[in-house]
Structure formats: C-alpha cells, structure tokens
Amino acid sequence: MDSLISVIVPVYNVEKYVEKCVRSIINQTYTKLEIILVDDGSTDASGNICDNIAKCEKRVKVIHKENGGLSDARNKGLEVAKGDFVSFIDSDDYISKEMIETLAYNIEQYNADISVCAYDMIYENKNIIIANKNMLQEYTAEQAIEVLFDKNDIGVIACNKLYKIELFNNVKFPVGKHFEDINTIYKVISKANKIVYDPIALYHYVQRNGSINSVNFQKKAFNNHLYDMVDAVNEVCEYVKEKYPNAFKNICIGAIDYRLRVINQEIIYGIKTQKLWSDTKDMIRECQLKILGSHSISYVKKIQMYLYLYAERIYCLFIRKIKG
C-alpha cells in the first residue's frame, strides 16, 4: 500500500505520556503518515511537547483548541485529515513499530475496509493482560457486529483499527458522552464490506490510575459516566435488533456483561436502578440457551448471570464480598 494514512491523537494533560506515544507513531515502519495531534485545551505541558515534536518532524501537525472532550478532538482531527485511511491513537498509549504497516498490509491483502489488531492492557504496576485469538480472521459487517462486545475479537475500542476514511462520512463521535467508542464503532463497521482481524497485539493500551476504567468511582462520577455506557450499549442493541436480527441474541450476551458491570458498581455503592436491573434480568432470560452455548464468555460469567437472574440477594452478597 502506498496511500496516505492519517493518525489522529487527541491530547489532554498527558505530559508524562504523550512523547512516548507520538514517538511510537513517528517510528512506524510505514512512513507515509499524516500525524495529527489535537491539543484539547491542555493545562499542563502537553501542548508545548507536541509543538516541539512538530518542529523536528514535518509529518506532525498540531491543532490547539478549547477543551471539548475526546470525541470533539477526534472529530476535529477527522475534519482536517487528508489521508485515504485513518487510525486513532490515545495519547497515553503507544503502538508497536509495525502496527500501521501490518494493518495496511491486511487491508490490501484481504481487500478489507477495516483492519483490526489485538491489544495489550498495560497497568502501571506492570501487569499485562493480552486480548488475543489464535488466527487471522475475516468478517462481514454482520459477523463483526455480532462479536463487537468481545474484547478478544473485534471489540468496541476505536484505537486498534485502521479504517477507510470514507466510512466516517456522516459519522461523528458523540460530544459530551463517555464510552463514545460504543456509540460510534458499530456505525462505521456496519458500512464496511469486509473487516480483517489480526491476533498479534500491536496496540498497547495503558491503564492509568485515575482513569474511568481502573478506579473505584465516586457516586457523582458513577452517575455521569457508567450510565453513558448503558445508554450506548442499548443503542447498539436496538440497531442490531432492527438491522441484523440473527445477531441480536449474541450481541445481547455482550450487552448483559456490560450491564452487570454497572449493576456491580451500584451494589457496591448501595444504588439500585430498578429498570436497569429488571431489563437485565429480562435479557438474561431471553438469551438463556445462547448463554449456555456461548464460547465468548467464561463459565464464571455464565454462573454470575444465572445467579443474578435466580438468586439476586446471593449475587449482591457475592459482589460485595469480592469487590467491596
């Protein structure tokens, strides 16, 4: 492939991490890159670090804007991107030097519209959890949507993928929402003819203390963030039910897992959103046979789902014991 690839990096108060991130992009074995750093109103040295890098690397373009959040920064990057393909990298993460070349090769080799690689989740205490499968796989849009909530497969995160940029025509990341990838990636995938997944972990997803994915939440933060996830998951389920009815029960299994994460936090904080709890039980009830036969969720999660459905009080005691 000899196409220009735009790499969009939203930047906000990541002075400890951003240079490592950008250097990992600059050092890619695929060199025909446009690297767009969107400084989203950083109040630390992040913006200056980006400017200094741009002085030494002509492929780097820096945009400074008022703070509008991750979605707004990504959308701004898309507005100015000139590439035929686009990838998103979060500014506290980094990528293996061959990631872009591998994704681009797979797009060309398999005539795909989206190329995906596996990723590592890296914690500051150096523990690493690898999301991986055993072999390269090709998917239609419907097949990819069906495994969208499986982190060991296509997954909902935006950053471990290379897209034909035209897929983002009339698609924007939702400004003001958390878990914005869930609201967005299904729309892009549904426009693709083919998606290819590579099981090699080339994207390194750093979990920082204080990030929404790694901490115990204050009640206010819980209300502001995790319910956005429930809304986003519900949006995907409604879409799949209408457009891909044969995939609906499989996507629901992933949705149940997401919903239980929120319910588990509610249990810890002594909150109970009745509709969330009852709707989740209805979903488990509707998908019981699919859950039993599913290979995408562990036996432990299956037991938790059935415990929640049939023995809520015991389930609550269990969650308080292991997570409280």
Tokens of 101: 């070349």
| Pairing relationship of beta strands 128-131 and 114-123 according to DSSP bridges | antiparallel
The contacts of residue 178 (CB under 8 Å, 6+ apart) are 212, 224, 225, 228, 229
The structure's pTM equals: 0.92
Per-residue pLDDT, 100: 98
Residue 226 · residue 262 · CB < 8 Å: yes
Between helices 248-269 and 299-310, what is the axis angle to 10°?
A: 70
Give the whole-angstrom CA distance, residue 201 versus residue 265.
Answer: 30
Q: What is the pLDDT along the chain (324 residues), one digit of tens a residue?
A: 899 999 999 999 999 999 999 999 999 999 999 999 999 999 999 999 999 999 999 999 999 999 999 999 999 999 999 999 999 999 999 999 999 999 999 999 999 999 999 999 888 666 576 665 678 999 999 999 999 998 778 999 999 999 999 999 999 999 998 899 999 999 999 999 999 999 999 999 998 764 434 444 444 445 558 899 999 999 999 999 999 999 999 999 999 999 999 999 999 889 999 999 999 999 999 999 989 988 878 899 999 999 999 999 999 999 998 876
